[in-house]
Amino acid sequence: MKKEPEVFIEHILESIELIENYTANKTISDFIESVQLQDSIIRRIEIIGEAVKNLPADVKSKYPDVPWQKIAGMRDVLIHKYFGIDLELTWQVVQKDIPDLKRENLKIKQDLKTKSTSSSTNSTT
C-alpha cells in the first residue's frame, strides 16, 4: 500500500520534534559523552532520511530549495558507516540544518493540506 506524502512529512516533523526535545539544553559535549543521546538523535536522522527517500519525486521537485539528496545521503552514511560517524558534524546538522528542515516541512505540510482541501472541494462541486 502506497503512503501519501503527508505521512512521510509527518514522520519527518515528528522526528524533528523528538530531536529538539532530546537536544534541549544540551551541548556538543553532552552529545559526545552520551551514547544514548547519540543513538536517539542518529536514529531520528535515519528516519528523516528514509522518509525523504520515500517522498514522491513531484513533491521533491516542487521544493528544490530543500536539499533532499543530502538528507537521504546523510541517512546512508549513518546507516552504512556507523563505525565512523562524525559526531561533531552530526551535532552541526542538528543545530543548523534541522531548524531549516522543520520550517520547510511545515510549509510543505500546509501546502499539501491546502491542496488536499481544494481537491476535496473540487470533487464535491
Q: Which residues are catalytic?
A: 75
Tracing cell 505521512 back to the chain, one arrives at 7
Please name the residue that has the C-alpha cell 500546509.
110
The span from the CA of 68 to the CA of 9, in Å, is 12
Residue pair 71/48 in contact (Cβ under 8 Å)? The answer is yes
Cell 552530526 belongs to residue: 90
